[in-house]
Structure 1
């Protein structure tokens, strides 16, 4: 029954160990985590590819999902942070949102139950890609000198405070930004996964003493699973909107 509700979890050791499941002992070896990334990438491409092929005046199915996602990113992220000029970044931001959501949602998929972003590799890679694009756009639009000046010496700050502000801005903009993006996504997904594992183990242990002792942790597990679906979307939204800021 627990498998049906996406509540069957691997051994605790597999929180930190990912044995190969295909192409073992080769450079192309696949484990559960890398397979989740691959499938998420294919799902992202398929979502927009199928929506573009089957366009209709009244959207339905995949087209409805794709258009709903695009409108959500445009109205709640791009227009709220960048403004109309940010529409040129819509393809990147929408793809980023869908990919992160798909990677996260595997946490509640039966027989998988693992959020790929609870491993640091891809959150850090995504954060570095965002960091490179962020700085490239800044330099291209303002010039290297203007970008460094506006980043390190924000207008409106008293000049006497630049001695303090400039080093802070240097660390926050050029060093801390990618780390904070990556750690925020990784830590939230890892924490949620640990909570689900904890209640799954507790429910399974108490179930052996009868139905009544096992009901409370089981219902908590169901509620947490539903909550993690919300968290999967929320973390995709947070990462994307912080990218756009």
Structure 2
């Protein structure tokens, strides 16, 4: 999108893929050592620090960080783990709790001043998490159900033989390729789109109010500021929701590996 101000001058250029292109942190540094990688590590360390401060020395009557940590623990346990894992919930809570808060921290960085970038909008990070969860699912499935049973029970029995030539490839493609792919892409796409939308409205407000102010452009700039505020609130909800959904699917996949009837 390009729009020229009424009085001439430079055109307004909508933000695009350049928002997700980052040079190395320092001259001559490795190509992979960029801002998203740095803040991915910072996010992980922050989650570790919060967990340590909340649970390292628990008190009978929780206070401060322990109070906050227990609220998060109860939410993940009751809304994510128990519906899919039942009696196995407590065993998998460390993984699910860490996954939820890591993704939420990565997402919320989009609205943190100075950072202003959601780590999960780089596809590599959701892919690593999704593949890790899915490899765990397959490992648990083979371990608990046996190799042959795990790979054969997902195919319905008693169908005409020709049906299996079509059904088997579709079922295996859906289970082992499409499921982890959509698990990762759902998180990535929402964070990617949200970041672009916030950047667009922010730039509209800045451009038409400060960079190239005109009589006709000022209302657009004001609208851009209002939309930036509104979309920031909405995006914060989506950031939480996507962390919840990703962790919920992880619990569902772990449950299907533990029990064939899930």
TM tier relative to shorter chain: 0.7 to 0.9
Normalised to the residue count of structure 2, the TM-score between the two structures is: 0.81
Work out the CA distance in 2 between the residues paired with 1:144 and 1:213: 61
1:159 maps to 2:159: yes
Instruction: Look up the SS of the partner of 2:62 in the other structure.
Output: coil
Q: Structure 1 residue 209: deviation in Å?
A: 3.1
Q: Structure 1 residue 158: deviation in Å?
A: 4.9
Q: CA RMSD in A?
A: 2.0
Q: Structure 1 residue 131: deviation in Å?
A: 0.9
Work out the CA distance in 2 between the residues paired with 1:216 and 1:16: 25
Normalised to the residue count of structure 1, the TM-score between the two structures is: 0.87
Larger Rg belongs to: 2
Match of residue 178 from structure 1 = 180
Work out the CA distance in 2 between the residues paired with 1:125 and 1:71: 26
Work out the CA distance in 1 between the residues paired with 2:82 and 2:166: 33
Work out the CA distance in 2 between the residues paired with 1:213 and 1:35: 35
Preserved CA contact (<8 Å) 1:12 1:197: no
Structure 1 residues 28, 13: closer, same or farther in 2, change over 3 A?
Answer: closer
CA deviation string 1:55-113 (max 9, x = no partner): 22332332122211111111001111222223311111111111111111100000111
Instruction: Select which of 207, 214, 217 maps to 1:209.
Output: 214
1:50 maps to 2:67: no
Structure 1 residues 86, 168: closer, same or farther in 2, change over 3 A?
Answer: farther
1:136-155 equivalences under 5 Å are 136-151=139-154, 153-154=155-156
Match of residue 239 from structure 2 = 232
Structure 1 residues 244, 204: closer, same or farther in 2, change over 3 A?
Answer: same
Work out the CA distance in 2 between the residues paired with 1:106 and 1:84: 34
Structure 1 residues 43, 28: closer, same or farther in 2, change over 3 A?
Answer: farther
The answer for unaligned runs of 5 or more in structure 1 is 1-10
1:73-112 equivalences under 5 Å are 73-112=76-115
Work out the CA distance in 1 between the residues paired with 2:122 and 2:238: 16
Structure 1 range deviating more: 48-57 or 108-117: 48-57
| Count of residue correspondences | 231
Structure 1 residues 165, 88: closer, same or farther in 2, change over 3 A?
Answer: farther
1:17 maps to 2:24: no
Work out the CA distance in 1 between the residues paired with 2:92 and 2:159: 34
Structure 1 residues 29, 164: closer, same or farther in 2, change over 3 A?
Answer: closer
Work out the CA distance in 2 between the residues paired with 1:29 and 1:100: 20
Preserved CA contact (<8 Å) 2:23 2:31: no
Preserved CA contact (<8 Å) 1:21 1:29: no
Q: Structure 1 residue 47: deviation in Å?
A: 1.5
